[in-house]
A and B are shown apart, each in its own frame.
Chain A
């Protein structure tokens, strides 16, 4: 009888300190943008931060829109080097698409204003119905003037919590609150930093957050729910960098591996391992833009990373004598390319990820700066810890939160643990890495979701009134 679940009415919500106010949470990263309702454990809407720009006029969002077609350029609204918003127009568009179109219920719009009956916008509805409607609605809103402005604000019911990179600039933060308040009319807004949110997702207020993301790897110390600015360390050694390592490895392979993304393959026949591919490629009546091809190649590389690449567990470096021989004697993994070519990968799959830990082992990548010693993960951690107060260090080492999709590489945590124990021999080191893939990938979003659904958080929100009184500068004062 004890196992009988509590009815919803008797669940003691109070002890968790939760108090839902139907807030929305938006977490923008270089590879993916995540949006959802606060209090849930996974974001409802996850879209790639890459978007399609059709003939330079119209933007399409979401994986289902990123198909080969004429005049489609793939762009990203975030900057690769910084993981902060670069193209604010596109960012506003994609965020609106996610927060308003995907998450809000359909609004009833008077037929005279819903755009369907407008003669001038009818031409735009050419198959991309959703987006056209969106544009049309916007156009209609502009056309109908500001008489109905208050009603048109799409997020007037939901507070919005956004995350940002810890090194985000003040201008970008002001821009974010401006969009949320002016464009969407949220009653309340808050901007939290990704490491803080990731620490919250792991249930910790103080932690050393190691975020191995798509474009960047960062190490940040969080104390009592605030980042320590001096401790922020950032390096490009993330998922995309790993992809470039794989490319470099494929290029130098014997025989050289041809990168043929899935969309190019029409049919294939099975071939033996190592044999050249026998596939029929698709022909397109238009030019596929290089950016689209690069995006598709990146997807292939991601698959390779997920299924083949592994991190040498340690102890010691992978390049230490004997390790490579040991790996060669172990069973490898077979990876089949979209065009049917397949091969067994043994020592190479350890080799590509070694550069994250040991700059000397990084493969040379043409057209990019080689990784420096200070950019390897152990050095990032050391530099981060050296910039915080000595009293905090033991506590931080005992509360290390590992997050980010690239940290899901097999053996990553083992290696991290062995590197740390070698660096800080006398200390107690404890890694906290979520076991679920989603929790690792969406760590910052989940933390934001927890934060925005807390009862004690209500006093933190920047309200519309405060924004109106103080202007966008309030974000610097409040979200420290």
Chain B
């Protein structure tokens, strides 16, 4: 197939008709020379012949081209300043020319070691230091004097000798606790001195003492070391002057908890000794957790999409409208809306289609090694959710061609995650509520609260604020301040409302009391009040005795009231009532159900309603409400 055929197939414009004859002439010249495979290759390339340049290896030439005189090497002495005994002179081979001009004594090659050493002493300044000396790093182990030990480090479990021993080991083993613990073999001095060394036969009692000394656990060693280190750190530099690193270190060391650590180790040990089945089960549980997380993510995604949908037109219209006043502007707006709509539609269609059309098998293949033992049902559910979720996210990424969203999707990956502390410092916070577009001032939130109120209310709130000595306009509206202010305003508002109610109720109470006084004057001896209270206590009693002692007085009237109250109390009572539905005694039933609900007030109300059905049930009810509300308001005010 020649290249113009390819062009033809691909619908590419053929090289200009005029150019063709001339090119043909060109190519026709070398063609007859080629045969077989070479011609085929030539045809493939067509007008742009494939460049096949034979590589000529310049292997042999190179080898002889770069011949230089052999480099000169010499045995050069050096010392290592990282050694305790830095006078040790070792020798190694070095290139002669890269040496400093100071030449090592030429006779040191064939000289005897003794001479050599003397020569070395003379010219020790010239001898280079090992380049590896810089790698010698040592841990810093706290130092303390006797006084310091006695004043701040004394411990009932550790004497000074043992602490010293521990510190030495720590230094020797560079804080590698596994080794320190492994080699820890402290022999108290007293025993050693009494034994006097090598009399293993006859010192049974003292050796028994040694054996009785319980070996230290690694946690004990660590705890002691951290204690000493932290205290010495604080002695050298009081805690308040430490910089962040030092402070953190100090905090870590002081908060070391040996018991916790021991527990952790025990847990780790159990973890190690678990059987294969247990390990597998654990793995299955982890997979389950992952599944749940994935589902959560899916929900979040859907929710976000919903928000986006709700948000979109707002974002456009709240901005400057003048852009859309011309026909051109309207056109672009329309297009924007269309594309947004289209993408959303496509996405949601894709999501649903994928979610439904992908069978469990597809999901199973996506999770091939997840849980071989997990029951198939669970597996399929998980598979379908994960699969659809997976597709969903892909669809979302693909079908949002708009720039801003893409940017938003790309950015979070790059952005550095701030810690909580940093967020506080920089005042970064994230809101869970939906934001309107564009920047807003924080104090506008406060203003919004105030301005939405009626004039009189506004006035009252400002009065209260003035009373509290708080300016209406915040000087420094940081997030915390605004939050607190909002809370305060909220509280003030409730307070005002409650005050209003209480005022109203006070008035009513006064009115009623006046009425009552008048009534009392009319029929002084007859008192229904005690009867009512008696009834109330009667109604309460059955609740304890499980409802067989039925109050005589409460036969008919109570039933009504209680029955009326019962459904309003709580639907949860239904279960409590269930076993007693057969007895059909409304009073007992209601009285039993109500105390369980804990709503004594409503019950009392019902009981009080009975003796005076005609008078003022509403008033009594409101009185009891009042009592609770006033309690609450008192609490609020306390706050």
Contacts and interface: CB of A to CB of B under 8 A. Distances in A.
Interface string B70-96: 010000000010111101111111010
B87 A229 contact: no
B85 A463 contact: yes
Interface stretch (B177-185, B342-350, B527-535, B585-593): B177-185
Interface stretch (A17-25, A66-74, A112-120, A171-179): A17-25
Contacts of A156: 113
Interface in B254-301: 265, 268-269, 271-272, 274-276, 278-279
Contacts of B179: 223-224, 226, 228
Interface string B328-366: 000000000000000000000000000000000000000
B272 A390 contact: yes
A460 to B, nearest CB: 8
B48 interface: no
Contacts of A8: 71
A150 B87 contact: no
B99 interface: no
A458 B90 contact: yes
B371 to A, nearest CB: 16
Contacts of A466: 84-85
Interface residues on A, range: 35 or more
Contacts of B279: 425-426
Interface string A60-90: 0000000000000000000000000000000
B219 to A, nearest CB: 10
Nearest to B93: A20
Given A19-B92, A150-B114, A226-B173, A455 B132 contact: yes
A391 B265 contact: yes
A402 to B, nearest CB: 21
Interface in B112-141: 112-114, 130-133, 135-136
Interface in A400-456: 424-427, 454-456
A461 interface: yes
A459 B272 contact: no
A41 interface: no
B35 interface: no
Contact of B276 (A150, A228, A426): A426
Contacts of B90: 21, 159, 187-188, 458, 461
A423 to B, nearest CB: 10
Contacts of B85: 463, 465-466
Contacts of B136: 456, 459
B132 A390 contact: no
A205 to B, nearest CB: 11
B40 interface: no
A426 B271 contact: yes
B467 to A, nearest CB: 63
A399 to B, nearest CB: 14
A21 B133 CA distance: 15
Given A4-B62, A21-B90, A21-B91, A390 B71 contact: no
Given A223-B179, A392-B178, A458 B132 contact: yes
Contacts of B518: none
A465 B83 CA distance: 12
A349 B181 CA distance: 44
A9 interface: yes
A19 B80 CA distance: 12
A190 to B, nearest CB: 12
Interface residues on B, range: 35 or more
A135 interface: no
A151 interface: yes
A426 B91 contact: no
B577 interface: no
Interface string A316-358: 0000000000000000000000000000000000000000000
Contacts of A21: 90-92
B172 interface: yes
Majority-rule SS of A interface residues = loop
Contact of B135 (A226, A230, A392, A456): A456
B178 A391 contact: yes
Interface string B130-162: 111101100000000000000000000000000
Contact of A390 (B83, B183, B269): B269
A229 B272 CA distance: 22
A231 B182 contact: yes
B218 interface: yes
A14 interface: yes
A427 B130 CA distance: 43
Contact of A230 (B93, B182, B272): B182
B92 A150 contact: no
A229 B85 CA distance: 28
Interface string A1-42: 100100011000010010111100000000000000000000
B515 interface: no
A175 to B, nearest CB: 18
Interface in A200-236: 223-224, 226, 228-231
A297 interface: no
Nearest to B174: A224
Nearest to B172: A480
Contact of A455 (B93, B130, B176, B183): B130
A424 B278 CA distance: 12
Given A187-B88, A188-B90, A230-B182, A17 B276 contact: no
A8 B68 CA distance: 13
Contacts of B271: 426
A424 B88 contact: no
Nearest to A477: B172
A128 B278 CA distance: 69
Contacts of B269: 390
B88 A9 contact: no
A1 B57 CA distance: 9
A298 interface: no
Interface in B27-59: none
A467 B172 CA distance: 19
A393 interface: yes
B88 A390 contact: no
A146 interface: no
A362 interface: no
A19 B130 contact: yes
A407 B430 CA distance: 62
A150 B84 contact: no
A57 to B, nearest CB: 34
Contacts of B131: 14, 19, 455
Nearest to A151: B112
A134 B16 CA distance: 97
Nearest to A188: B88
Interface string A230-246: 11000000000000000
A9 B268 contact: no
A471 interface: no
A394 interface: yes
A157 interface: yes
A424 B272 contact: yes
A388 interface: yes
A298 to B, nearest CB: 37
A231 B279 CA distance: 27
Contacts of B62: 1, 4
B92 A20 contact: yes
10 contacts: A150-B112, A153-B113, A156-B113, A390-B265, A390-B268, A425-B276, A465-B87, A466-B84, A466-B85, A480-B172
8 cross-chain pairs, A with B, having the tightest CB-CB distances, nearest first: A455-B132, A463-B88, A425-B276, A426-B279, A21-B90, A459-B82, A228-B182, A458-B80
Interface of A: 1, 4, 8-9, 14, 17, 19-22, 150-151, 153, 156-157, 159, 187-188, 223-224, 226, 228-231, 388-394, 424-427, 454-456, 458-459, 461, 463-466, 480
